[in-house]
Structure 1
Amino acid sequence: MVTSAKICGLSTPDTLDAAIGGGASHVGLVFFAPSPRNLSLDRAASLAVQVPPHVQRVGVFVDPDDALLDAAIASGRLDVLQLHKTAPARIAAIRARRSLPVWVAVAVKTRADLDDARALSGLADRILYDAKTPDGAALPGGMGMRFDWSLLSGFAHPAPWALSGGLDAANVAEAIRRTGAPIVDVSSGVESAPGIKDPARIAAFLSAVAQG
């Protein structure tokens, strides 16, 4: 099995080019105002036109309303919606209103947290296992935290899935070996500062994925 990679939180043409040129299968565009990776609709539109057809544009949202979703889908030419901290009933409503695939993030710290994944059977086209952030944290992800990958050992995934949380060029090959993740997702692990992607780190991460 070949593992593919999503580079999340891209915001500049040069870092988007690094992701595409390095072989990323997905690029993440964040639409969440508190995030240092948040994009305006105009910036999203300018980046979206750079993305070739074989790379999917993933819009990243935190419990979004319909107005934001509609505007972001149009501006970012989104292929996938990625939802964080969104209740199952809201996920179902979003799916019913739109034809795009939906990825749902599950925050993991203990094995019990995986029960949340089981509840997404039939709702999520893909489950994104991410590290649970501390109580009161402003962001649901992108903080460089990882969880114990062994928690996924033997777990019957209720949907296709991806692995996120604290990944970088130094540990992603191990993460792939230990979990068998079909897709790995990175944000802060390819940054020089919060929200500032580094083309060299993106290249190193994608190289490690390809070799892993």
Structure 2
Amino acid sequence: MQRKVCGLTQPDNIEAVLGLGVDYVGFIFYSKSKRYAESPVLKKWVAEHQDLFADVAKVGVFVNAEVDYVLNTVHDYELDYVQLHGAESPGYCQELKLLWSVNTLRGAKIVKAFSVDQNFNFATTLAYASSCAFFVFDTGGQADHGGTGVKWDWDKLREYEGTTPFLLSGGIGPADAAKINVIDHQQLLGVDVNSRFEVSPGNKDVDALSVFLAELD
């Protein structure tokens, strides 16, 4: 099961999380987030420590961002993925994919996050499948676009019949490993954790993460 830790902001903490053997680290480029990662210090640190990310993908999280901002941030932070966490359309995703296919800019794979509540229709995801490497299924009805610590009803995953893999997200905490291990869905790629493993916004509790990740199958 793949592991993504999102909402990182501090170089020392990032390095400690990387030491846990995660697959993805997430940086949030949404100015209204408490975990906003845009900073000259972080940009410089990432550029100078690329060796630390040899086996870990860097994911930039964006919310209804201008295309130029996404392109420039992918270049500046040497991102491997962009995670679109707003109301981005299938056409927006296709535009990004096309732009990266026809020019020499650093490209990134695309991930679309969906806010799932009891009324969510998983058929919504079909139009994004051709553009996205995988999806993130997060908690719906939250104005903060993630990082709320609130769960959704994971039983609803039975309704997802698509072929695109997904990361499970939304309120996952230290006591949830056993429940995640028994989810039986062939497209479950892994988990995406954030706010419930924090000492403070953007600063992860490395010890709690270490125990939780070790308990995942």
TM-score range, shorter chain: 0.7 to 0.9
1:112-191 map, 5 Å: 112-134=120-142, 137=143, 139-153=144-158, 155-180=160-185, 181-191=188-198
Q: Which residue of 2 aligns with 1:205?
A: 212
1:109 paired with 2:110, answer no
What is the Cα deviation at residue 95 of structure 1?
1.5
Distance 2:41 2:92 in 1: 27
Distance 1:203 1:46 in 2: 27
Cα distance change on mapping 1:183 and 1:58 into 2, 3 Å: same
Unaligned ranges ≥5, structure 1: none
1:64-79 map, 5 Å: 64-79=65-80
The one-letter code sitting in structure 1 at the alignment partner of 2:137 is Y
What is the Cα deviation at residue 179 of structure 1?
4.3
For structure 1, which segment, 146-155 or 100-109, has the greater mean C-alpha deviation from structure 2 after superposition?
A: 146-155
TM-score by length of 1: 0.88
Conserved 8 A contact 1:9-1:30: yes
SS at match of 1:182: strand
Unaligned ranges ≥5, structure 2: 101-106
Conserved 8 A contact 1:8-1:27: yes
What is the Cα deviation at residue 114 of structure 1?
1.5
Structure 1 residues 130-187: Cα deviation after superposition (integer angstroms, max 9, x where no partner): 11133xx2x1111011111111126312312111111122103312322443220001
Structure 1 residues 185-204: Cα deviation after superposition (integer angstroms, max 9, x where no partner): 00102112333322222222
Structure 1 residues 97-149: Cα deviation after superposition (integer angstroms, max 9, x where no partner): 12421000011012643122223221222111111133xx2x11110111111
Question: What is the percentage of aligned positions where both structures have the same residue?
Answer: 27
Structure 1 residues 51-90: Cα deviation after superposition (integer angstroms, max 9, x where no partner): 3211000111111112321221122110111101112221
For structure 1, which segment, 38-47 or 24-33, has the greater mean C-alpha deviation from structure 2 after superposition?
A: 38-47
Distance 2:43 2:148 in 1: 26
Distance 1:43 1:110 in 2: 41
What is the Cα deviation at residue 41 of structure 1?
4.0
Q: Which residue of 2 aligns with 1:60?
A: 61
1:27-46 map, 5 Å: 27-46=25-44
Q: Which residue of 1 aligns with 2:91?
A: 89
Distance 1:106 1:207 in 2: 27
Conserved 8 A contact 1:14-1:199: no
For structure 1, which segment, 176-185 or 145-154, has the greater mean C-alpha deviation from structure 2 after superposition?
A: 176-185
Distance 1:67 1:130 in 2: 26
Cα distance change on mapping 1:33 and 1:179 into 2, 3 Å: farther
Distance 2:76 2:42 in 1: 6
The one-letter code sitting in structure 2 at the alignment partner of 1:75 is D
Distance 2:118 2:176 in 1: 20
1:24 paired with 2:26, answer no
Cα distance change on mapping 1:97 and 1:176 into 2, 3 Å: farther
Conserved 8 A contact 2:10-2:203: no
SS at match of 2:59: strand
